Amino acid sequence: MGRVTKLVRAAPAYPLLLPGMLWLAVFFFVPMYYLLDMSTRTGNLIEGFAQTYHFANYTDAITSNKEQLIRSLIYAGSATVLAFLIAYPLAYAIAFRGGRFKNLLLMLVIAPFFTNYLIRTLAWETILADHGIVTHTLKTLQVLSVTDALGFTSGERLLATPLAVVTGITYNYLPFMTLPLYVSLEKIDKRLLEAALDLYANRPRAFFRITMPLSLPGIFAGTLLTFIPAIGDYINAYLLGSTQTTMIGNVIQSKFLTFNDYPSAAALSFTLMAGILVFIIIYARILGTEELA
Amino acid sequence: MSSDQPSPFDLNANLARGALTRRDLLRRAGAAGGALSAASLLAACGGGSVGGASTHNPASAVGKVSYPHTVSPSWNWSNWTLYIDVKNHRHPSIDLFDKKYNTHTNYIEDINDNEDFFGKFQATLQAGQDIGRDLVTLTDWMAGKWVQLGYVDPLEWDLLPNVKQNLLPSYHGRSIDPKDEYLVPWQSGLTGIGYNSELTGRELTTVSDLWDPKFKGKVSLLTEMRDTFGLVMLNLGIDPSNCTVADAQKAHDEIKKYVDNNQIRAFYGNDYSNHLANGDLTAAMVWSGDMVQLLPDNPHLKFVVPKEGCMLWTDNMMIPKHASNPYNAHLWMNFYYQPQIAAMVEDWVNYICPVNGAADVLKSGDPSVGLPADPGVAKNPLIFPPKSTMDKAHVFKSLSPDEETKFNQLFADLTGTA
């Protein structure tokens, strides 16, 4: 079938795209444009921000917030790895061993989403409280002295430490990791595994040669869906962290809302977006899932 | 029952009104993120009048005192959420006013954040247009900013005999409005120190007590720059109502020591309440309004005004430039400054009342406005502080834009968001 015929055949579908396109235009491209425009301005809220094509906003934003940028990368990366380690066995169990409870189990994965994000994070404040059972138990087992030594916690407490922030992020984005993994694992043809076993592969080998590669699209989607929002997250760092655990999201938030320094905040936002984009491209190349990249 | 005649020590009433104080909302709004203020942001970015302000009736925008002294059939007042008496989904004090003057008050609870509100209307005000509000209620430093920028109409004191008579003396000549030309206080709060006496094992009396090594990692300061810097400046012998960038630097350097050695656990908004109540924090800088709700449930908690002084913040009523119905706004301010009306509001709100005589009304109640006696509120030193406390209360000075940027930068360095 020729290219033109294809286009003509698809023609009735174009009007259907309209709502989505309009949505994108109004709520994505227009704000993006304002943000980009703002990022090279100078001035203050009262006298107004004048467009001066001050590109130094970008270099300033990066150099003065290096610490938070690196920290965000580390926290989001750790949370993604942790979420993966928790979600993969979970998704695997539901997909392969779930049986008739599959749907129920999936619902349990999403269940925390029935509650507001803020409330869920506030709940962790209580769970990790200094006088709470978790902290007490870990203290008794001397775990906290180990994590203190490693720099994950400080002062034998959980709250207001890096560990609490990473825990919070991991928890909050776990379903974003679990669901794509489940989808890709669920659609694996079980006969392929039987064939592998028939051909004398042992179970670990069958897993690494069949299951793992076939679930790559899920791994790709899951890690991105976790990592990208996690790196810009600031609620966890705000509620569960301290002054030593602020992430780049906290900086952007305070620049926008507290200090009304819109240009630096916009420049930082764009830097973050560009960074993520580059990361995705490299990541897609490495993982080589062409259908997604 | 209690919802009709709340006392500050009544759990139900406290739940009803205390579940979400206005500062709580402010905090949560901040945490809930950019979404909330996206509109104001867009408005600010575009420089347009997206703020939803009505710009009709330019005829009234002629001059200061040349408006007619006649009651308009309706007028608009913007205030913070949960910041006036409520009964059966109505506001009894406003109902009385509407009935007396045969008008209709559009009471708009659309202030969640000083900066947000400013961002929303700044472009319209700058353009010299009516923002569709006859009265707005903003916190000291923001009110001062509006005054500085010429966004506020001067008061006509002849219309405000009750304010003249009943405004507590400590509110006169504040640094943000030295000649009392623009602002009439609505409610106030104190910033002081809250601590868990069981954990400290002793009384705290000064900000220096927060730096006791025994409380390491169990101390929090406030995310509000003016409150935190203010208290620390007082501790260093600096007057926050007349301070310089160099003074802010000194306060910064003092606090920095304790951020770096982990003495300070974090900077909190209202969320210190939880941490203080459950013992994660031993001592903290706190707001009196929150303590009114916390103390009855937590017998070990104490609120103390540091001996070197405390900070006082006030939300002020003021008339935006080019307002359409300034006469109604004056009538309301004068109406509110009757002790029995202020008492009605105070019985529900529990911040500090600037109206002299309201406490006496609450002691005995006033059947003429349907107000039962509520001596608990009347005697509460956090709602009606003794003169000795008010004498120690300081108001942060009004910062110029340049100073504000520098102060903010110093503060951001402390909170880790520089």
Structure confidence by residue, pLDDT tens digits, A167-205: 999 999 999 999 999 999 999 999 999 999 999 999 999
pLDDT at position A288 over 80: no
Polymer length in residues for chain B: 418
A125 at interface of B, judged by CB pairs closer than 8 A: yes
Residue ranges of A 46-75 with Cβ closer than 8 A to chain B: 46-48, 64-65, 68
Mutate to test the interface with A, among B42, B50, B216, B280 (most CBs of A within 10 A): B280
Closest CA to B330 of B161, B188, B137: B161
Tell me whether residues B41 and A118 touch, CB distance under 8 A.
Answer: no
Structure confidence by residue, pLDDT tens digits, B336-346: 999 999 999 99
pLDDT at position B50 over 50: no
**Residues B170, A254: Cα–Cα separation, whole Å:** 33
Contact A83, A170 (CB under 8 A): yes
**Residues B415, B229: Cα–Cα separation, whole Å:** 12
- What value of ipTM does the predicted structure carry? 0.81
Q: Give the one of A125, A157, A256 whose C-beta lies nearest to B274's C-beta.
A: A125
A126 at interface of B, judged by CB pairs closer than 8 A: yes
Region of B322 please: left (phi>0), alpha (psi -120 to 50) or beta. Answer: left
Chain A positions in Cβ-Cβ contact with residue B279 (cut-off 8 Å): 129-131
Average pLDDT, chain B: 84
pTM attached to this predicted model:
0.80
Integer-rounded Cα Rg, in Å, for chain A is 23
Q: Give the one of A45, A64, A243 whose C-beta lies nearest to B415's C-beta.
A: A243
Closest CA to B271 of B199, B220, B204: B220
Q: Where are the alpha helices (DSSP H) in B236-280?
A: 245-260, 272-277
**Residues A239, B271: Cα–Cα separation, whole Å:** 8
Structure confidence by residue, pLDDT tens digits, A137-165: 999 999 999 999 998 988 889 999 999 99
Tell me whether residues B412 and A256 touch, CB distance under 8 A.
Answer: no
Closest CA to A124 of A89, A76, A169: A169
Q: Strand B310-320 and strand B393-394: pairing?
A: parallel
Q: B70-107: buried (b, 16+ CB within 10 Å) or exposed (e) per residue?
A: eebeebbbbbbbbbbbbeeeebbbbebbbeebebebeb
Q: Under DSSP, is residue A185 helix (H, G, I), strand (E, B) or coil?
A: helix
Closest CA to A255 of A266, A244, A241: A266
Tell me whether residues A262 and B31 touch, CB distance under 8 A.
Answer: no
pLDDT at position B13 over 80: no
Structure confidence by residue, pLDDT tens digits, B368-392: 888 999 998 999 999 999 989 999 9
Region of B367 please: left (phi>0), alpha (psi -120 to 50) or beta. Answer: alpha
Chain B positions in Cβ-Cβ contact with residue A35 (cut-off 8 Å): 45
Closest CA to A85 of A236, A283, A280, A222: A222
Structure confidence by residue, pLDDT tens digits, B74-99: 999 999 988 999 988 999 999 999 99
The percentage of residues in chain B with a pLDDT greater than 90, rounded to a whole number, is 65
Q: What is the least distance, in Å, from the CA of A64 to any CA of chain B?
A: 7
**Residues A167, B393: Cα–Cα separation, whole Å:** 42
Q: Give the one of B31, B401, B415 whose C-beta lies nearest to A118's C-beta.
A: B31
Question: Bridge-partner residues for B77, per DSSP?
Answer: B107, B135
A31 at interface of B, judged by CB pairs closer than 8 A: yes
Q: B146-173: buried (b, 16+ CB within 10 Å) or exposed (e) per residue?
A: bbeeebbbebeeebbebbeebbbebbee
DSSP category for residue B285:
E
Closest-CA residue of chain B to A51: B45
Chain A positions in Cβ-Cβ contact with residue B37 (cut-off 8 Å): 256-257
**Residues B287, B228: Cα–Cα separation, whole Å:** 11
Contact A175, A109 (CB under 8 A): yes
Q: Give the one of B44, B279, B409 whose C-beta lies nearest to A130's C-beta.
A: B279
If residue A180 lies in a helix (H) or strand (E), which one and from where to where?
helix A162-186
Structure confidence by residue, pLDDT tens digits, A215-263: 999 999 999 999 999 999 999 999 999 888 999 999 998 888 778 888 9
Average pLDDT, chain A: 90
**Residues B304, B192: Cα–Cα separation, whole Å:** 6
At residue A16 the predicted structure's pLDDT band, cuts being 50, 70 and 90, is confident
CA torsion angle B292 B295 B296 B301 (round to 10): -170
A202 at interface of B, judged by CB pairs closer than 8 A: no
Q: Give the one of A35, A48, A129 whose C-beta lies nearest to B278's C-beta.
A: A129
A175 at interface of B, judged by CB pairs closer than 8 A: no
Q: Where are the alpha helices (DSSP H) in B19-65?
A: 22-32, 34-46
Chain B positions in Cβ-Cβ contact with residue A34 (cut-off 8 Å): 42, 45-46
What is the per-residue pLDDT for B402?
86
At residue B52 the predicted structure's pLDDT band, cuts being 50, 70 and 90, is very low
Interval A206-213 mean pLDDT: 93
Q: Give the one of A246, A258, A260 whose C-beta lies nearest to B416's C-beta.
A: A246
pLDDT at position B131 over 80: yes
What is the DSSP code string of B132-168?
S-SEEEEEHHHHHHHHHTT-EEPP-GGG-HHHHHHB-
Q: How many residue pairs bridge chain A and chain B with CB atoms within 8 Å of each other? A: 111
Structure tokens at B274: 């939880």
